[in-house]
Amino acid sequence: MVRRTNRIHVSLVATPDATVSSLSGLYDVLNSFELLGSFDPAVPVESPFRVEIVAPKRGQTLTASGLPVAAHRPIGKVDQTDIVIIPAVMVEGGEWRRGRYPALVRWLTDMNARGATLCSACSGVLLLAETGLLDGHDATIHWAYAPTFRRNFPKVRLRLEKVLIAAGDRQQFVMSGASASWHDLVLYLVARHVGPTAAQAIAKFMLLQWHTEGQGPYVVFQAPTDHGDAVVLAAQEWLGQHFAVAAPVEQIVKRSGLAGRSFKRRFTKATGYSSIAYVQRLRIEEAKRRLERTQLPVDEISWNVGYEDPAFFRRLFKRITRISPGAYRRKFRLPDFTGAAIGDQAAARG
């Protein structure tokens, strides 16, 4: 068989912050064509990709997962590549510290200038953003890293509801969201460079998922509290316990002792949310917990979190999470076999 000479070169970046699961998952899928092609003619038997693991230094890299990864080449030996992928990284304390990989940041910038597509999975976008190339563009990331991302890269528009974003005039920046969304990233790359039929076949064979509903159902609301405004913080603390009461915004205004307009402006400046939007987020977050952990009817949950009109609650829930309350409950319900296993363990202990 004649070997391809124009294969797409992919550089998977291994750093001490990298998680092995996303790095190895991406590597395995992009190297799976020979196997999968023997089962489905939609997948070319000969891989269109040539995948290398690259690292800032030669030799093994001890990753954040505690497992060593052997790089094929150090980045200093890679002058040209077609695709760079930065896998998910673990950040100590959830706070990104800039300037730890200056040579890698310069290399990413050089690869972009030479025409490479720069990709990130999950929190890997923190390293990609350090190049400055994402300034003025949309980006996505795991919701838990949103605060540190915004502090470090205020010129990048963070879109947490998006599971995958392709940005730039030639879509040269591709970012996927939380954890398992590397599935979406690798399937996107296969669809883009090989074809949608091949991407569908690989997803089916390997049980990979397109998270078509976005990240909305998964994002946990994080109330910003490091703004330094004591009056607003007191209002937030009160709302955290009383968000379900009638007219909560009126009550926090009254408790603040400020004029309504002044308080609302101050609240929005401190938190990034209008006071009513903030209350809505708190209520929907509690509704999510009850949908996950109880069998209460949706209408009753609506009442419990502060909404007398179930229809309005359903519309608001879908606007924030991107799916209906019923679909949310089904998505996060434990499968039947899990319940059976728990029951078996309880019986054994008894």
How many H helices and E strands in the chain?
Answer: 15, 11
Under 8 Å CB-to-CB from 46, ≥6 apart: which residues? 1, 3, 4, 33, 34, 37
239 with 175, same domain: the answer is no
> What distance in Å separates the CA atoms of residue 98 and residue 4, rounded to the nearest whole number?
40
The pLDDT profile of the chain, 350 residues, written as one tens digit per residue, is: 334 458 999 999 999 999 999 999 999 999 999 888 889 999 999 899 999 999 999 889 999 989 999 999 999 999 999 999 999 999 888 899 999 999 999 999 999 999 999 999 999 999 999 999 999 999 999 999 999 999 999 999 999 999 999 999 999 999 999 989 999 999 999 999 999 999 999 999 999 999 988 999 999 998 889 899 999 999 999 999 999 999 999 999 999 999 999 999 999 999 999 999 999 999 999 999 999 999 999 999 999 999 999 999 999 999 999 999 999 999 998 887 665 555 555 455 55
> What one-letter code names the amino acid at 1?
M
With respect to residue 212, please indicate whether it lies within any of the assigned structural domains: no
What phi, psi does 203 have (nearest 5°)? -60, -45
37 with 180, same domain: the answer is yes
267 with 190, same domain: the answer is no
Q: Looking at the 3D structure of the chain, how many domains does it have?
A: 2
With respect to residue 327, please indicate whether it lies within any of the assigned structural domains: yes
14 with 101, same domain: the answer is yes
Q: Any idea which residue has 């969304």 for tokens?
A: 181
71 with 183, same domain: the answer is yes
With respect to residue 340, please indicate whether it lies within any of the assigned structural domains: no
**Would you state the structure tokens that stand for residue 133, as one six-digit string?**
């190339």
73 with 127, same domain: the answer is yes
Q: Which residue, 171, 206, 241, sits at the end of a domain?
A: 206
Name the nearest CA neighbour of 211 among 88, 121, 326: 121
317 with 234, same domain: the answer is yes
297 with 263, same domain: the answer is yes
18 with 138, same domain: the answer is yes
With respect to residue 90, please indicate whether it lies within any of the assigned structural domains: yes
How buried is residue 156: exposed, middle or buried, by Cβ count under 10 Å (0-12/13-18/19+)? buried
> What separation, in Å, do the N-terminal and C-terminal C-alpha atoms of the chain show?
63
Q: Any idea which residue has 């609301």 for tokens?
A: 221
| pLDDT confidence of residue 305 | 98
pTM recorded for the entire structure: 0.86
User: Which residue segment(s) compose the domain that 264 sits in?
Assistant: 230-332
33 with 175, same domain: the answer is yes
58 with 196, same domain: the answer is yes
With respect to residue 337, please indicate whether it lies within any of the assigned structural domains: no
| pLDDT confidence of residue 3 | 41
User: How many CA atoms lie less than 13 Å away from 174 in the CB half-sphere?
Assistant: 23
172 with 38, same domain: the answer is yes
- Helix (H) or strand (E) holding 312, with range, is helix 310-321
User: How many CA atoms lie less than 13 Å away from 1 in the CB half-sphere?
Assistant: 7
What CATH number does the domain containing 284 carry? 1.10.10.60
